[in-house]
Amino acid sequence: MYVRQTLVFFSLALTSLAAGSFHCSAQTAVQSSEAQAMLQRADTLLKQMTLDEKLQFLISKYPFIASPGGGAGFVAGIPRLHIPDISNSDSATGSGSKTQASTTFPSTLAIAASWDRQLSFDYGAQIATQLRAQGFGMGLGGGGNLTRDPRGGRGFEYLGEDPELAGEMLAQRTLGTQSKHILASIKHFDGNEQETNRMGGNTTVDERTFRELYLLPFEIAVEKGHPGSVMCSYNRLNGDYACENNHLLNDVLKHDWNFLGIVQSDWGATHSTVKAINAGLDEEEGSEPGPTWLNRIDVLYALANHDITEARLDDMVRRHLYAMISTGLIDDAPKEGGKIDFVAAAAFAQHAEEQSIVLLRNEGGQLPLVAAKVKSIAVVGAHADVAVGTGGGSGDVLKPVTGYIAGCGGLAFGTHAGCDWWKSPWVKPDVPIVKAIQEMAPGAQVNFAGNRDELEPFRAYSNQEIAEAAALAARSDVAIVVVDQPAGEDFGDLTSLSLANPSNQNALVEAVAAANPHTIVVVESGNPVLMPWKNKVAAILEAWYPGEGGGRAIANVLFGKVNPSGKLPVTFPEHNEDIPTWGRDGIMAKDPVYTEKLNIGYRWYDAKSIKPMFEFGFGLSYTHFAYSDLSVKTAADNTMTVAFTVKNDGPVAGAEVPQVYLSIRDQDEPPMRLVGWSKVDLKPNQSRQVTLSVSPRQQSIWSVDANGWKFIAGSRVYVGASSRDIRLHGE
């Protein structure tokens, strides 16, 4: 039965891919015969369980020593009923096992930059394959929070600033994970857009903004991806903690979206027994040994005191059983000790990074480099001779296949004790950038200059090191400067988008650019960065946190073996003061109030007529694409069909991401919103018609009075290569 259900979900996903951003009804899953059969099976098991057996499903035990495989949590199964154990693991960019080797894949934000739904599906499947081999039944990897503030410390774990892009990519990742019969959890639900005071800060957001922006990625992921679990966040939301917020969990998630799976807390995000259970929390991620709220004694007391009902307890357990059945986990539980094909995983990591790199600048056609014409190459900075950047915290991977730089180098931010994996945002690939460049240009002299001290990876470049780098650049044909912006969970939010750790990376770029007009900058980051040197360098690549295949991927793009096709999922501002949350002094509020309402990301820059440095959806190519023949038709049910032609009229094969935006005729709406896109591969002189379907919901606003979506007729359609590069428009 679970196989058929998976195929049904996958079929819906393929339908969405063909139709653009189609929104199926949440009622479909509940009314389907497959779902009904699964609920009946769950009820049959539930009736055979004792009260004590039911209670053991309410807490996932931590620390990882209690979890086989070195995971983050563990729920014991019931062998007599053939219900398997569930061990879970953090899995934002790969399996987060604390005891087993895992592959470090590119950051989630990088996958968003690919704008490739199939790649996101494959990303989820690749990580799930390793989770299975390590014995984990649940992956805690699907982040759906939006980039409200581009300084957010966990921005690399999420999918950018637009709810449609984030929701579609999250849905596909979820489908990919659960195609391997691994239960996917999406997080952090909701209003968790910053690290500052994340454990108790109160997010204040009005209902319309909440529905149209911050809830929407999760709504799309629930409708299309059917995750087994949703993880509620640490913060308060309009007064109540997210994990005991009745409106969030019961009204929205379980009632409006008809979510049938588990609501699990983040670790330490549960603050009550009765209120949390009645508000919709189904599972606490707790300490073992240690205080918990959904423990046996407190829950039994609440039952005896009629503070919670037996029916609600049964509902909590039924949701666990349904999630296990619908994902196939109950009949195909993973076992620790499986074999992982690390070679194949590294190849996928490299491919994913190649599809995600964004070419931001290419003056005079500096790129791609021609190996036969380049005799000397200077590579400078960011440990490019040994490592690439990767996000820290639970989104990191403990044991990358090839290791990590262990030193913290006097790192000032971060509350996690010691210089361990949690705070080391560097991974050592088999082939670092310098070696990969040498492989691409075997006849060239490739030399490295910069900070070589692995034990002090955040030490500022000395004046002598900068001078040596500039001198090396001056006597080289090409200079490649690699800069890095470390960030992560527990690191706190960035105080500025200016490059930091070391803080004088800008001086390094300036010095090299002054010495060599053929300077290329490669940025490794999980956030937008400021680039005061932008107009002084010939080319810029945004490589994100590239994963352990990043060395070869970056080299392949630099030399044209891969034509870059990534597009920005976040806006890069010209100045700190341009971002919507900067305010008067740039200090992030401990209790954020979303006064900018619907104007975040590109919507803010459009509404305020601020020119960004690089706009949302922007990305260059080594070829050129032309757009023509726009056609817009509306059906009787208000579904809009947008069709147009894209032609590769440049010299080489490449992929373009045409984007469709709508201007909604409502005074409170931003000038434009993204409603669809497609990634199109084209050979030189090849044309293709792109057809995208825009649902009535995507042409609607949230009506607080009606407590539902209100269709707005007469939207204007814009088709472009980015949010600012509009090529076609029509009614």
Q: Catalytic positions, please?
A: 266
Torsion of the alpha carbons at 159, 596, 265 and 141, rounded to the nearest 10: 0
Alpha-carbon distance of 613 to 530, in angstroms, equals 8
Alpha-carbon distance of 557 to 549, in angstroms, equals 13
Q: Any residues with CB less than 8 A from the CB of 371 and at least 6 apart, and which?
A: 440, 441, 442, 443, 444, 559
Cβ atoms of 696 and 711 closer than 8 Å? yes
Name the nearest CA neighbour of 75 among 51, 104, 90, 55: 55
Cβ atoms of 51 and 101 closer than 8 Å? no
Residue with tokens 């090299």: 512
As given in the structure block, the two tokens for residue 624 are 């050129």
For the four alpha carbons of 518, 433, 507 and 588, in that order, the dihedral sign comes to positive
Q: How far is CA 318 from CA 273, 303, 321, 401, in A?
A: 19, 17, 5, 38
Q: What is the secondary structure of 518-567 as a DSSP string?
A: SEEEEEEESS----TTGGGSSEEEE--S--TTHHHHHHHHHTTSS-----
As given in the structure block, the two tokens for residue 540 are 């810029």
CA atoms in the 13 A half-sphere facing the CB of 590: 3
Q: Which residues pair with 523 in a beta bridge?
A: 483, 542
As given in the structure block, the two tokens for residue 21 are 């951003």
Let me know how long the chain is: 731
Name the nearest CA neighbour of 654 among 689, 688, 623: 623
Q: How far is CA 229 from CA 139, 178, 260, 272, 326, in A?
A: 10, 11, 9, 20, 11
Cβ atoms of 465 and 507 closer than 8 Å? no
Q: Report, in angstroms and rounded to the nearest whole number, the Rg of the chain calculated over CA atoms.
A: 25
Q: What is the β-pairing status of strands 86-90 and 138-143?
A: parallel
Alpha-carbon distance of 712 to 701, in angstroms, equals 7
Alpha-carbon distance of 351 to 566, in angstroms, equals 12
Cα angle for residues 650, 654, 656 (degrees, 5° grid): 95
Cα angle for residues 554, 560, 562 (degrees, 5° grid): 65
* Cβ count near 426 (within 10 Å): 26
Cα angle for residues 85, 91, 92 (degrees, 5° grid): 155
- Total H helices, total E strands in the chain: 19, 31
